[in-house]
Amino acid sequence: MSTSNTKSYWRRYRSVPIVYRIGTAFVLGSVVGLLVGEPATVLEPLGDIFVRLLSMIVVPIVVFTLLMGIRRISPSTLGRVGGEVIGLYAVTSAIAVFIGLAVANLVNPGQGLTLAEDVEFDPADTPDFAEVLVGIVPENPIGAMAEGNVLATIFFVIVFGLALLLLEESTEDETVRSGVESIFDIVEAGTEALFKIVWGVMEYGVIGVFALMAAVFGEAGADAIVPFAMLIAALTVAILLHIGVVYLGGLIVALTRQSPVSFLAGSKDAIVTALSIRSSSGTLPVTMANADDNLQINEGVYGFSLPLGATVNMDGTAMYQGVVAIFAANLVGVQLSLVEQLTVVVIAVLASIGAGGVPGTGLIMLTLVLTQLGLPLEVVGFVAGVDPILDRLRTMTNVTGDLAVTTVVAHWNDAIDLTGGSWADPTQGLEVGDTTAGDD
Binding site for ligand ASP (CB under 6 A): 278-280, 314, 317, 355, 357-362, 391, 394-395, 398
- Max alpha carbon distance in the chain (Å)? 75
How many CB atoms sit inside 10 A of residue 125's CB? 12
Collapsing DSSP states into helix, strand and coil, what is residue 140?
coil
CA 314 to CA 323: how far, in whole Å?
A: 14
Q: How far is the CB of 276 from ligand ASP (least distance, A)?
A: 12
Q: How far is the CB of 2 from ligand ASP (least distance, A)?
A: 45
Contact present, 287 and 402 (Cβ < 8 Å): yes
Instruction: Name the amino acid, one letter, at 225.
Output: I
Alpha carbons within 13 angstroms on the beta-carbon side of residue 343 total 14
Nearer to ligand ASP, 136 or 384 (CB): 384
Q: Which of 149, 29, 14 is nearest to 392 (CA)?
A: 29
Nearer to ligand ASP, 258 or 280 (CB): 280
Q: How far is the CB of 340 from ligand ASP (least distance, A)?
A: 22
CA distances to 85, 164, 186, 227 from 154, in Å: 14, 15, 19, 42
Q: How far is the CB of 311 from ligand ASP (least distance, A)?
A: 9
CA distances to 264, 355, 364, 434 from 427, in Å: 11, 35, 39, 12
Nearer to ligand ASP, 201 or 312 (CB): 312
Q: How far is the CB of 391 from ligand ASP (least distance, A)?
A: 5
Contact present, 392 and 220 (Cβ < 8 Å): no
Contact present, 362 and 317 (Cβ < 8 Å): yes
Distance from first CA to last CA of the chain, Å, rounded?
A: 22
Nearer to ligand ASP, 32 or 380 (CB): 380
Q: How far is the CB of 323 from ligand ASP (least distance, A)?
A: 12
Q: For 297, phi and psi rounded to 5 degrees?
A: -95, 145
In the bound state, the residue with its beta carbon closest to ligand ASP is 362
Q: What is the DSSP letter of 42?
A: G
Nearer to ligand ASP, 211 or 314 (CB): 314
Q: How far is the CB of 143 from ligand ASP (least distance, A)?
A: 22
Nearer to ligand ASP, 298 or 305 (CB): 305
Q: How far is the CB of 287 from ligand ASP (least distance, A)?
A: 11
Nearer to ligand ASP, 311 or 422 (CB): 311
CA 95 to CA 114: how far, in whole Å?
A: 30
Q: For 138, phi and psi rounded to 5 degrees?
A: -75, 140
Q: How far is the CB of 396 from ligand ASP (least distance, A)?
A: 9
Contact present, 379 and 370 (Cβ < 8 Å): yes
Nearer to ligand ASP, 92 or 279 (CB): 279
Q: Which of 390, 378, 389 is nearest to 321 (CA)?
A: 390
Nearer to ligand ASP, 68 or 349 (CB): 349
